Amino acid sequence: MNQIVDRRLNSKKKSTVNRQRFIRRYKTQIKKAVSDAIGRRSITDIDKGETIHIPSKDISEPHFRHGEGGVIERVFPGNREFSKGEHIDRPKSESGQTGSQSSADGSGEDSFVFELSREEFLDIYFEDLELPDLVKKELAKVDSFKFIRAGFTSYGTPANMNIIRSMIKAASRRRALGSANRKQLKISEEELAGINQKSDKTEEERQKAVDLQEKIAFLKKRLKAIPFVDTIDLRYNNRIRVPSPSSQAVMFCIMDVSGSMDEIKKDVAKRFFILLYLFLTRTYDQIDLVFIRHHTTAKEVSEEEFFYSRETGGTVVSSALELMREIVQKRYPVSAWNIYAAQASDGDNWNADSPHCQNILAQDIMPLVQYFAYIEIMPRHHQSLWEAYKNVQEMYPNFAMQNIDALSEIYPVFRELFKRKAA
């Protein structure tokens, strides 16, 4: 069986087509390695590439080979164990083992190592994810446009010149302009060849040969005078500017930074929000991000302060929900914006405040948002906030709750919250 592999080099990457084919073929192993990578990385390295190790047995390919088959008759001298007509089992294969383990003789085969670039890593990580129930409401305040291909034009900048189309036009022009001359040239050359083949030429034929030579030289000169490329041949890629409808969306990132949120829990929350930030900025053009940190009081902060500030205190979760409500009323009218929220907390809250959180969500926030995701960073024994939010979940199907107990659970929880719905 012949195998043809395209190993032509592209402009910057080697064998890009084969690389993408390899990623598609071993997507299961690669996605598992990508998932495991998030738990091992520091926050600053969360969006870098990854080295993938694939066991050799997983990349082995089926192939045809010649093997023993059919009925085999042999005569073995000195046989004392078998009689005529008895069947002998086929001997087992003696081929060596492969894999990360060494065989009996010390030989073995290492796992296959594959380097994922940053873009490939993030593409696989955020594959099949989306903001749920995103709908178009109004166009952005500043109209967005995009350029689309619209055929070719006879004027433009050199950067937009279409070389192939220009050469086709030039060849067509040269062929059209020189058609009559080439036809006359061919006839004249055939006549001259006929005269030159004669051994005895008359005076009239000699004069005609001279005239034909002059005519041929004149026709060739006229054909050479036709320019190889003329300005009328040039063609440029035409792109027109058209409005690009876009849906406006805002994501509220709410993180609990109270004293009960120790460094381990905060690390899990920050990793989750970094993934959310990367996902939103890579996938959507018209997206606003509002960062809210809260303990006893809530405050809208910058991206840097959200991830790196060390401020802490008691716990009043309702302060963050009240701040979100105020910001929505002031800056994000529901008629024009798709509103989303993601909240991360350990669930520790004043018992009297949890019912208040339930009321704010049920009455003021959930009717306004497309989707609200709550992530509790806590072992399976939940506290009062979880119970209050369960009541909200029963009332609103666009309210989602998930629990994260370890770094390894961030990826499956993230995908569960933002997986693409079936059409």
Let me know whether 299 and 336 are in one domain. Answer: yes
Domain assignment present for residue 384? The answer is: yes
Q: Which residues of 370-390 are buried (b: 16+ CB within 10 A; e: fewer)?
A: bbbbbbbbbeeebbbbbebbe
Same domain, 337 and 312: yes
Confidence of residue 279 (pLDDT cuts 50, 70, 90): confident
Q: For residues 183 and 258, state if they share a domain.
A: no
Instruction: Choose the final residue of a domain: 237, 271, 294.
Output: 237
Same domain, residue pair 221 and 303: no
272 and 401 together in one domain: yes
> Is residue 275 domain-shared with residue 332, that is, in the same domain?
yes
324/370 same-domain check: yes
CA distance 349 to 385: 6
Confidence class for position 138, pLDDT limits 50, 70, 90: very low
pLDDT at residue 20 in the model = 66
Q: What is the pTM of this model?
A: 0.55
Band of the pLDDT at 357, cuts 50, 70, 90?
very high
Q: Is the pLDDT of residue 25 over 80?
A: no
pLDDT attached to residue 144: 60
Same domain? 187 vs 308: no
Neighbours of 149 (CB within 10 A): 9
Rounded CA gap, 360 and 317, in Å?
11
Any idea what the CATH number is for the domain that residue 396 is in?
Answer: 3.40.50.410
Considering the domain architecture, whether residues 224 and 312 belong to the same structural domain is answered as no
Residues 214 and 304 in one domain: no
Query: Does any domain span residue 323?
Result: yes
**131 found inside a domain:** no
Does any domain span residue 330?
A: yes
The whole-number average pLDDT for the span 198-209 is 83
pLDDT of 101 strictly over 60: no
In terms of domains, do 270 and 398 share one? yes
Residue 20: domain span: 14-59+110-125
Instruction: Write down which residue in 237, 272, 300 finishes a domain.
Output: 237
* Domain assignment of residue 387, yes or no: yes
Domain count, the chain: 3
3-state secondary structure of 71: coil
Query: Shortest CA distance to 125 belongs to which of 418, 423, 421, 422?
Result: 418
- Judge whether 97 lies within some domain: no
Q: Are 304 and 341 in the same domain?
A: yes
Q: Which residue has the higher pLDDT, 74 or 182?
A: 182
| pLDDT, position 201 | 78
Q: Is residue 99 part of a domain?
A: no
In a domain, 73, yes or no: no
Q: Both tokens of residue 260? A: 């009960």
The predicted-structure confidence for 41-59, as pLDDT tens digits, reads as follows 554 555 556 566 666 655 5
